[in-house]
Amino acid sequence: MPENPSGDEEALSPHERSNVPFEGLPGAERWVVYSGGERVGSVDVRDDGAEALVDYRVDTNGRGAKLREHIGLDPSGLPRRWEIDGTSLMGGAVRERFTVAGNRCEWTSQADEGDRPAHPPALYLANDTSPYASGVYARAALAAGGTVDALPSGKLTVKHLRPVRLAGTDLEAYVLAGVGLFPEFVLLDEQRRMVAKLGGTLMVREVVVREDHADAYPELVALDRELGAHHARRIQHRIRHRFDTPVRVRDVRVFDPHTLTLTGPCSVVFFRGRVTAVERGSELTSGEVQIDGQGGTLLAGLHDMHTHTTAAAGSFFLAAGVTTVRDMGNDNAMLLDLIPKVDSGELPGPTIVPSGLIEGRSPYSAALGVLPETLEEAIDAVRWYAARGYHQIKIYNSVDPSWPERIAAEAHRLGLRVTGHVPAFTTPDEMMLAGFDEITHINQLVLGWLLDKDEDTRTPLRLTAMARARDLDLDGARVRRTLGLMRRLGVGLDTTAVILERLMLSRAGQVQQGDVPYLYHTPVGYQRYRRRTFVPAKDEEQLRAYEESFPVLLRVMAMLHEAGVPLWPGTDDGTGFTLHRELELYVAAGIPAARVLRMATLDCAEHLGRGWRSGSVELGKDADLVLLDGDPTLDISAIRRIRMVVKRGDVYFPAEIYPELNIAPFGESPAIQTGVSQ
């Protein structure tokens, strides 16, 4: 902190003033950040209309951004100066600057740098920022009539949804679009000041609310679900195609996961959610709907085996060909409300198979699922999940290492499987012997070979320690022992390799290989978000350690596959695009593309106990189908070229879904003929 013996705040420069403590300053307000019902952070703001000082801090699941912002605003509410310093989610350094000087504006961030004429004026979208930015954006867009040009490019829109009464205060609810991939809902008072921010993520949602309304958190949770469902319901109305007659997809080659080959040209017919014919040729029946496959590949719907699902994520999954997801821990009330709405077709989305998360109490706890104080409460949570039809129990970082054996025994007694992170201060080997049926995340497995037992994996160390993997001896005794246990006990691995690639290879200003095929179709805010460094690194040598370590993780995947250990592709994400990259990484590890397709379809379905009804294109099974151009058995990246998706007989076209999500489409929909006669 700069010295200021006089105590005169105005004597300090704008950047120095941004480092003055907020306590006791006139006009300071606080917003509370909630996640899963827990207070996990705060946003302290001093905003006089011309200048805002912001202090943003979050601590959840052992991580969280720490940012200080100084924002200078012009009379229309557009930023003329925006300075941001601190660290991002995983501890990466942030130093972002935007200025308007004379007739030019300039910016520099982790993602990019640039300049352009200051006229016509435009709204700068900060790359690393606090939730308070949503209030700044909403006010500026409203002052411009609802739509404002954005920097570095694009437009931001704000639309009025409806009046809201919160804790006796009349507010207005708006939806922001054009910042990222997903809608943000903001509640504004009569002076257009932000009172709360909802939504804004594809995974577990945060609620940010001004402290004088913090007691209204339960109302905000309900409102968040209501607005999110309302938005998704409107999208579903526009993108869902239902047919009361049989639908014939003709001139396709079907992927057979049993033989790992494509059939010759054939037709697939489905009616009322079931496949009713797979036949050579195109023998029509009267009144059919006919869809021209144009020689493309038809395969069963894909699985993402590691998600944290929300209503907003459903459309993204469908557009990517994902018709089944395994939810790996969530706000339980939200998820139990969401599942029947998706199953009935009220909301768009894949079939959701839920896992019940159990986390321990610690300063690093993830605010999801159930956080028991005692082993008895943890056992009760297992019974709660079993009674509601959950598929499995997921144990998390802060669980007492002495608990999993009892938790697993009760879960197995009730017919539930057990998976999870490896709790801090124990090892994968010990957890497998305690009853784990599966390990979650490849880094959680590899940590057992890299760390001393007293190192705390409740912190970001569970991710940043992957930089040590370049020196790992894959022929060493620790590795051989773990692989032997996995084979003997039948333990599998939920890999999420794509998240490790995204973390370890993220570099400021660069687009990762897995993001190149889609990123420039997305809103500029999301493009910039993907072009930044997530890992903390003091120098180039530390970055090189990450680069040299990631290929080791791919070699581990290859070793596991060769040893017969089941691998389950998952993403820990909700965009759909990341599953495509996950499958590409499986092939990069040396697993044949056709075998990877089987993993993502039939193997996953059988693992979830659903192989009798899904996972392959066969007579009598669910009509969960994906039509794409090309042959993914020869080039796995063909999985990205999706033209149509069918989920239990409902037909969706990505070319229609993506514009609803502010994403430019990637191709055209197939031709449809209705009421075809013989």
Over the stretch 117-166, which tens digit does the pLDDT of each residue have? 999 999 999 999 999 999 999 999 999 999 999 999 888 999 998 899 98
pLDDT, one tens digit per residue, over 91-119 is 778 899 999 998 999 999 988 999 999 99
Q: For residue 326, give the 3-state DSSP assignment.
A: strand
* Structure token pair of residue 612: 């009798």
Q: Is the pTM of this model over 0.85?
A: yes
Range 647-661 average pLDDT: 96
Q: Is the peptide bond before 659 cis (omega within 30 degrees of 0)?
A: no
Which 8-state DSSP code applies to residue 241? B
Q: Which phi and psi (to 5°) does residue 370 adopt?
A: -120, 135
The answer on pLDDT for 12 being more than 60 is no
Is the CB of residue 408 less than 8 Å from the CB of residue 432? no
Instruction: Give the residue from 16, 27, 130, 121 showing the smallest Cα distance to 79.
Output: 121
Q: Angle, nearest 10°, between helix axes 442-450 and 477-489?
A: 140
The answer on pLDDT for 6 being more than 50 is no
pLDDT, one tens digit per residue, over 283-314 is 777 889 999 999 999 999 999 999 999 998 99
Q: Which of 176-185, 476-485, 571-580 has the lowest mean pLDDT?
A: 176-185
| pLDDT confidence tier of residue 11, bands split at 50, 70 and 90 | very low
CA–CA separation, 570 vs 314, rounded Å? 16
Residues in contact with 218: Cβ distance below 8 Å, sequence separation at least 6, in sequence order: none
562 burial level (CB within 10 Å; 0-12, 13-18, 19+): exposed
| DSSP characters over 11-40 | GS-HHHHTTS--TT-TTEEEEEEEETTEEE
The answer on pLDDT for 634 being more than 60 is yes
User: If DSSP states are collapsed to H, E and C, what string results for 373-442?
Assistant: CCHHHHHHHHHHHHHCCCCEEEECCCCCCCCHHHHHHHHHHCCCEEEECCCCCCCHHHHHHHCCCEEECH
| Rg from Cα positions in the chain | 26
Instruction: Give the residue from 222, 229, 278, 221 showing the smallest Cα distance to 249.
Output: 278
* Chain center to CA of 517: 18
CA–CA separation, 548 vs 121, rounded Å? 44
Amino acid making up residue 434: A
| pLDDT at 59 (0 to 100) | 86
CA atoms within 13 A on the CB side of 601: 29
Taking residue 29's Cβ as centre, other Cβ atoms within 10 Å add up to: 15
* Structure token pair of residue 32: 């509370």
Q: Which phi and psi (to 5°) does residue 570 adopt?
A: -150, 170
Taking residue 43's Cβ as centre, other Cβ atoms within 10 Å add up to: 27
Give the domain ranges of the chain: 25-238, 303-609
Length of the chain: 678
Pairing of strands 288-300, 625-628: antiparallel
Average pLDDT, the chain: 91
pLDDT, one tens digit per residue, over 392-433 is 999 999 999 999 999 999 999 999 999 999 999 999 999 999
Domains 25-238 and 303-609 fall in the same CATH topology: no
* Structure token pair of residue 171: 């507010």
The H-or-E segment that residue 186 falls in is: strand 184-188
Is 25-238 a domain of CATH 2.50.20?
yes
The H-or-E segment that residue 525 falls in is: helix 524-530
Instruction: Give the residue from 384, 438, 443 showing the smallest Cα distance to 414.
Output: 384
Is the CB of residue 302 less than 8 Å from the CB of residue 322? yes
CATH of 303-609 among 3.40.50.20, 3.40.47.40, 3.20.20.140, 3.40.50.300: 3.20.20.140
Range 204-212 average pLDDT: 84
| pLDDT confidence tier of residue 13, bands split at 50, 70 and 90 | very low
Amino acid making up residue 285: T
The answer on pLDDT for 52 being more than 70 is yes
Is the CB of residue 563 less than 8 Å from the CB of residue 474? no
The H-or-E segment that residue 325 falls in is: strand 322-327
CA–CA separation, 655 vs 643, rounded Å? 7
Pairing of strands 274-280, 650-652: unpaired
First to last CA, the chain: 82
Amino acid making up residue 94: V
